[in-house]
Amino acid sequence: MSQAAEGSSGGGTVEYIQHHLTNLCIGDCDPITHKAAGFWALHVDTVFFSVLLGGLIVLVSARLGKQLTEGVPGGFQNFVESILDFVNGQISDSFPNPPKIIGPMALTIFVWVWLMNFMDLIPVDLLPVIASWMGVSYLKVVPTTDLSTAFAMSFTVFFLIIYYNFKSKGAVGYLKMFLFHPFGKFFIPANIVMTGIEELAKPLSLGLRLFGNMFAGELVFLLIALLGGAATLGLGLLIWFPLQVVLDLGWLLFHILVITLQAFIFMVLTIVYLSMAHTKDH
Amino acid sequence: MEKAKGSGLLLISAGSQLTSMVVAGFLLGYGVDVLLKTQPIFFLSFGMLGLVGGTLKIYRILSDPDLQ
Amino acid sequence: MNITVTLIAQMIAFLLLIWFVNRVLWTPVMDLMNARQKRIADGLAAAEKGKQEQADAERRAAEMVGESKQQAAEIIASAQRRAKEIEEEAKENALADADRIKVAAKAEIDREVNQAREHLRKQVASIAIAGAEKVLKQKIDAKAHDKLLSDLAAQI
């Protein structure tokens, strides 16, 4: 599954990992570490892969849209319909009458996050090596291991939470929730801070969970890849190589579960948070 | 008090709720500190509040999933 | 700093993707599924209606059969009644006829008996006269004794 490490940087293990976890950055970047140095730094690889996968979703569904039949659905349509049905079931479980945007958003989150997580299953060195042949020295393949991607989604959700809180509770109701929520009316300053923390914790926990899981998964893949790289020559290879294959396969299978679970959790929590924002009282 | 039906799914988030609330507390405190130039005061106190609130929240989620 | 302009870019990408997914995937497929659901529900309702109608028709047919059976039975019963009436009438007529004939016959018999008796009486009277003539050896003036003779005949 994974190539040995010598393809890209060749240096020590730390350097190898560092290199793999560095985005292709343009704009306001540190020239030496190649990390983002200021706000105006764009991670091209993250944007590229996520847009690519988003484009894939749109393309596939547009092609599917041309051959939709109302009769007995064929294989792929059936599959898509069951996904939609599943997402819709999750929504109608939590919402009495969901607003229109929830459906497409939950579906987008589920499928997009899953696809971006899926990039994790591609052998860690494959795409960076190909990229290095084309003269791109840094490439981080999995968009969800970039905090920006996770937070982009979770903060969009956060804005929607605020919007629906205002819409369903009204400005006064929302303010009341901030003033009186966890401890009653005698602890108003603490309540404000607490509710603020609580609300802020929602997108943070959403984004951090996804980012953390994917980052850790990627790191484990890198470490497994290093096993083979550490002993490229001699007898050691005979021991390390089978171990690496077994470990990689095991982690791969486990990771399929993890990426699906993470996509599902992100979607479900989005739905639950929005449904909580959508209720009248708090 | 009508609650969303799927709130039981919040149990999923119980694990990371505590951490993210502490982080959220620190972040909020840091922001207030930067605004008021009172360096470590709000940072620490909000962090503590986040810890307390997170623990409470976890306790509440686990004891009654319907009451968020 | 990990929060960079990438975040903004990803947000825009996310929102665009939501818009596209809604346009291309969610709305058409959802509409389709709803339409299919509606069609199935309609089909089921139609089937239910058809069943109902069939049951109605069956019930109506059974009603009609029952009605006609009853009518037939009524017709048969009235016919039987009529037949009995006719029989009865005929019997009565026959009896009356028989009675009448009997009475007429009796009258005839009586008349003939009376006639015979008259005849006999007359003969007896003439025989008696003849006898008496013989006895008396004389002619009795029939004319003279006419009264006597008719009295005698009346007595016989």
pLDDT confidence of residue A79: 87
For residues A41 and A147, give the distance between their C-alpha atoms in angstroms, rounded to a whole number: 13
Q: Measured between beta carbons, which residues in chain C are less than 8 angstroms from residue A108?
A: 14, 17-18, 21
Q: Where are the domains of chain C?
A: 2-119
Q: Quick check: is A209 catalytic?
A: yes
Which one is predicted more confidently, A40 or C53? C53
Task: Map residue A37 onto helix, strand or coil.
Answer: strand
Per the model's pLDDT, the better-predicted residue between A178 and C18 turns out to be C18
Residue A1 has pLDDT above 50, yes or no: no
> What does the pLDDT read at residue B3?
46
**A224 close to A13: Cβ distance less than 8 angstroms:** no
First to last CA, chain C: 174
Does residue A63 have an active-site annotation?
Answer: no
pLDDT of residue B58: 81
Which residues of B, range 14-43, sit inside 8 Å of A by Cβ? 16-17, 19-21, 23-25, 27-28
Instruction: Report the phi/psi class of residue B11: left, alpha or beta, with left for phi > 0 and alpha for psi in -120 to 50.
Output: alpha
Quick one: closest CA in A to C25, which residue?
A61
Flag if C32 and A43 touch (Cβ within 8 Å).
Answer: no
Phi, psi at residue A39, to the nearest 5°?
A: -70, -40
Residue C123, token pair as written in the block:
């003969």
Mean pLDDT of chain A: 80
Residue B9's pLDDT is 67
Judging contacts by C-beta atoms under 8 Å, the chain B residues touching residue A276 are: 4, 7, 68
pLDDT value, residue B8: 62
Find the DSSP H helices in chain A: 13-20, 44-66, 75-94, 102-118, 126-133, 147-180, 188-230, 236-278
Q: Compute the average pLDDT of residues A101-109.
A: 89
Buried b (16+ CB within 10 A) or exposed e, A142-168: bbbbbbbbbbbbbbbbbebbeebbeeb
User: Average pLDDT of chain C?
Assistant: 87
- pLDDT over 80 at A8, yes or no: no
User: Is A5 in contact with A225 (CB distance < 8 Å)?
Assistant: yes
Distance from CA of B42 to the nearest CA of A (A): 10
Tokens standing for residue B13 = 């988030």
- Name residues whose C-beta falls within 8 Å of residue A65's C-beta, 6 or more positions apart in sequence: C24, C25, C28
- pLDDT value of position C91: 94
Q: Which residue has the tokens 């997402």?
A: A87
Q: Do chains A and C touch (3 or more CB pairs under 8 A)?
A: yes
CB B54 within 8 A of CB A202: no
Quick one: how far is CA B33 from the chain centroid?
19
Q: Which helix (H) or strand (E) holds A29?
A: strand A25-29
Whether the per-residue pLDDT at A175 is higher than 50: the answer is yes
Q: Is the pLDDT of residue A12 over 80?
A: no
Inter-CA distances, A181 with A185, A191, B11, Å: 8, 6, 20
Smallest Cβ–Cβ distance between B6 and the set A197, A265, A275 belongs to A275
The residues, any chain, with a CB within 8 Å of residue A159's CB and separated by 6 or more, are none
Place of tokens 């390390």: A240
Residue B32 has what pLDDT? 84
Task: Provide the pLDDT for residue A224.
Answer: 83
Q: Does the structure show a pLDDT above 50 at A9?
A: no
pLDDT at A250 over 80: yes
Q: Any catalytic annotation for residue A213?
A: yes
ipTM: 0.81
Question: Using one digit for the tens of pLDDT, what is the confidence trace for A192-249?
Answer: 888 888 888 888 888 888 888 888 888 888 888 877 665 556 666 677 777 888 888 8
Answer whether residue C139 shows pLDDT above 70.
no
Instruction: Report the pLDDT averaged over residues A75-87.
Output: 87
Stretch A13-28: mean pLDDT: 77
> Touching check for B3 and chain A: CB below 8 Å?
yes
Encoded amino acid at C76, one letter: I
Tokens 């818009």 sit on residue:
C19
Cβ of C37 under 8 Å from any chain A Cβ? no
pLDDT category, A6, cuts 50, 70, 90? very low
Contacts of C41 in chain A (CB under 8 A): none
Residues of A in contact with B13 (CB under 8 A): 205, 209, 265, 269
Beta strands in C9-126 (DSSP E): none
As a whole number of angstroms, the distance between CA A14 and CA A213 comes to 20
Contact residues on chain A for C3, CB-CB shorter than 8 A: 39, 147-148, 151
Alpha-carbon span A111 to A98, nearest angstrom: 20
Write out the DSSP string of B3-48. Answer: --GGGGGGGGGHHHHHHHHHHHHHHHHHHHHHHHT-HHHHHHHHHH
Whether A81 and C29 lie within 8 Å, measured CB to CB: yes
On the CB side of A121, CA atoms within 13 Å amount to: 17
Contact C25 A107 (CB under 8 A): yes
- What letter would DSSP give residue B66? G
Instruction: Tell me which amino acid residue C51 is.
Output: K
Q: Is the pair C, B in contact (3+ CB pairs within 8 Å)?
A: no
Q: How far is CA A104 from CA A50, A135, C20, in A?
A: 17, 38, 9
Query: In terms of pLDDT, which residue wins out, A30 or C98?
Result: C98
**Tell me: the pLDDT tens digits for B27-66?**
888 888 888 877 777 888 888 888 888 888 888 777 765 5
Q: List all residues 6 or more positions away from B55 whose beta carbon is below 8 Å from its beta carbon.
A: B18
pLDDT in tens, C53-73: 999 999 999 999 999 999 999
- Predicted local distance difference test score (pLDDT) of residue C95: 94
Residue C150 is predicted with a pLDDT of 75
Residue type, A187: F
Q: Give the relative orientation of helices B39-63 and A188-230 as an angle to the nearest 10 degrees.
A: 90
What's the whole-number mean pLDDT along residues C25-30?
86
Contacts of residue A41 in chain C, CB cutoff 8 Å?
Answer: 4-6
DSSP C25: I
CA distance A270 to A227: 38
| C92 band by pLDDT with thresholds 50, 70 and 90 | very high
Q: Is A43 within 8 Å of C4 when comparing Cβ atoms?
A: yes
A neighbours by CB contacts (3+ pairs under 8 Å): B, C
Q: CB of C41 within 8 Å of any CB in chain A? A: no
Q: Does the CB of B58 have a partner CB in chain A at under 8 Å? A: no
Q: Give the integer Cα–Cα distance in Å for B35 and A264.
A: 38
Tokens of A125: 């060195």
What pLDDT is recorded for position A125?
Answer: 78
> According to the model, what pLDDT value does residue B65 have?
52
Are A43 and C6 in contact (CB < 8 Å)? yes
pLDDT > 70? residue A282 = no
B23 contact partners, CB below 8 Å, separation of at least 6: A201, A204, A208, B50
- Over the stretch A51-66, which tens digit does the pLDDT of each residue have? 899 899 888 888 888 8
From the list A92, A132, A209, A275, the catalytic residue is A209
Q: In terms of C-beta density within 10 A (0-12 exposed, 13-18 middle, 19 or more buried), how is residue A205 classed?
A: buried
Query: What's this model's pTM, rounded to 2 decimal places?
Result: 0.72
Q: Nearest residue of B to residue A89 by CA position? A: B6
Residue carrying structure tokens 């509440």: B60
